[in-house]
Amino acid sequence: MRAVAAATKGWRLLLVLSTAGIAAAGARQPPNILVLLMDDMGWGDLGVYGEPSRETPNLDQMAAEGMLFPNFYSANPLCSPSRAALLTGRLPIRNGFYTTNAHARNAYTPQEVVGGIPDSELLLPELLKEAGYTSKIVGKWHLGHRPQFHPLKHGFDEWFGSPNCHFGPYDNRARPNIPVYRDWEMVGRFYEEFPINLKTGEANLTQIYLEEALDFIRRQQARQRPFFLYWAIDATHAPVYASRSFLGTSRRGRYGDAVREIDDSVGRILRLLRELRLGENTFVFFTSDNGAALISAPEQGGSNGPFLCGKQTTFEGGMRVPAIAWWPGHIPAGQVSHQLGSIMDLFSTSLSLAGLKPPRDRAVDGLDLLPAILQGQLMDRPMFYYRGNTLMAVTLGLYKAHFWTWTNSWEEFKQGIDFCPGQNVSGVTTHTQEEHTKLPLMFHLGRDPGERYPLSFGSAEYQDALGRITPAVQQHQEALVPGQPQLNVCNQAVMNWAPPGCEKLGKCLRPPESVPEKCSWLH
């Protein structure tokens, strides 16, 4: 850790010196950066992706004025690992946002989890600070609840939102409702000072989050300083909500109401940028943390279009997400990029916009998308799909290889938990963990985006694709240094499992003092 700390200090010094050089040369101020991150919004939820009710006019207009990415992916099929990947530019297996509690188990962050974003990770706002950026997060953090994981400890200057989603209400005795913060101060709790009517779906949170964004933009424009706004709202995560004026306005039920309010909010943000004459100096990117949660559809979940399954799976429906880049005067209108993109690319792209380089002391998985966005270049790269600490699948070009298939257990499925409702594909959507490491299941995503027709093992096409994917996987695995797992403690999916030598403590796991090294990841 001392070596990492020393390298980190050295890297930050280089950034300070390079930034000072830019300032001395009188370089133009770098662009503002807005990342609009949705929660569980599916690829098929926007009109521009083919949603037939066409209830997202502002997002459709944003795409018409900018660039659409039809092949854009989350770094994980769950919220918190995906968000950690966005802000670090690194796969969750590297930054610690995964679990080793049994094979291929997903990783959750309930209120009681003691892990969070490690100090050794460098987050985007922390690095942007070296180029003079002021940063704010609005909405859901989801990278740890304890004080050492607070957003203001990791580069953000301002925060309005919550460490977790709007779950509840709880009994406020054994388990209190989830808090809402303004910077370091707790200003209330969901279902109390910030009411959410579960019966009607009414809540004003999206309007509150919108006003926080608009106020921040106005203040930074007055200061003439570059800013980074991370607008991470959660209205489309079950329990879905919308404000009174939007309830009942969609043909898609309550979920559609939430999408319509989000669309209206994005429109107001972009209009303000134009009014303040900030449009040409503000890079805006809209995306989602993972695919739509079909387990709560149709009333409380979205659409993944033609893709298989949804959130919590590594099929396309769980990982492929909507993505739009908007930067008037720089991105020509009406563009579509078929670049294979990742949410981790927002890290490297943002640094490039700020005139900074990614850290050199660690592996960074995100690519700089500016060559694709501004010059139309296409860069070949593999896309890795993880569940827990298990590499489930890899996409390279138009070919996707599954090394493991699994949706959820038979026990959960029999209880009505279904991540792929109405989409059973024999031998593919399995309820037992099926291994295909020697002969991966292979799909051509151009001809078969729904992953329903595996290529024949004996075909020349299969052999050629496998010949290109295998070395990419080997190179990745040989160089991989996993981070210390942060999500093992209180993982609800595997609560009754403990490693040998570790004892259980109520619902959580506790490492006995006699074997601290064996159970060190539980701290």
Q: Where are the beta strands (DSSP E) in 54-201?
A: 67-68, 72-73, 134-140, 158-162, 179-182, 185-189
Whether 142 sits among the annotated catalytic residues: the reply is: yes
Q: Residue positions in the annotated binding site for Ca(2+)?
A: 39-40, 79, 289-290
- The three-state secondary structure class of 381 is coil
Distance of alpha carbon 340 from its chain centroid, rounded? Answer: 16
DSSP H helices, 290-396, are 316-319, 345-353, 370-375
Strand 399-402, strand 390-396: pairing: antiparallel
Q: Are the C-beta atoms of residues 71 and 320 closer than 8 Å to each other?
A: yes
Q: How far apart are CA 246 and CA 238, in angstroms?
A: 17
Catalytic residue, from 103, 142, 154, 330: name it: 142
104, 133, 270, 414, 488 from 108: Cα distances, Å:
13, 31, 33, 22, 9
Residue 286, beta-bridge partner list: 36, 324
DSSP-derived secondary structure letter, 276:
T
Q: Residue positions in the annotated binding site?
A: 39-40, 79, 289-290
Whether 166 sits among the annotated catalytic residues: the reply is: no
Catalytic residue, from 79, 490, 502, 519: name it: 79
Q: How far apart are the first and last CA of the chain?
A: 16
Q: Are the C-beta atoms of residues 55 and 256 closer than 8 Å to each other?
A: yes
The structure tokens listed for 293 are 């949660």
Q: How many CA atoms lie within 13 A of 175 on its CB side?
A: 9
Q: Are the C-beta atoms of residues 134 and 220 closer than 8 Å to each other?
A: yes
Q: Are the C-beta atoms of residues 183 and 136 closer than 8 Å to each other?
A: no
Taken as a whole, the chain contains a residue count of 523
Q: Are the C-beta atoms of residues 259 and 45 closer than 8 Å to each other?
A: yes
Strand 434-435, strand 404-405: pairing: antiparallel
Q: Which of 126, 130, 151, 153 is nearest to 140 (CA)?
A: 151
Which positions ≥6 away from 508 have C-beta within 8 Å?
Answer: 112, 114, 489, 490
DSSP-derived secondary structure letter, 202:
B
Q: What are the φ and ψ backbone dihedral angles of 316, each rounded to 5 degrees?
A: -60, -35
- Residues assigned a catalytic role: 79, 142
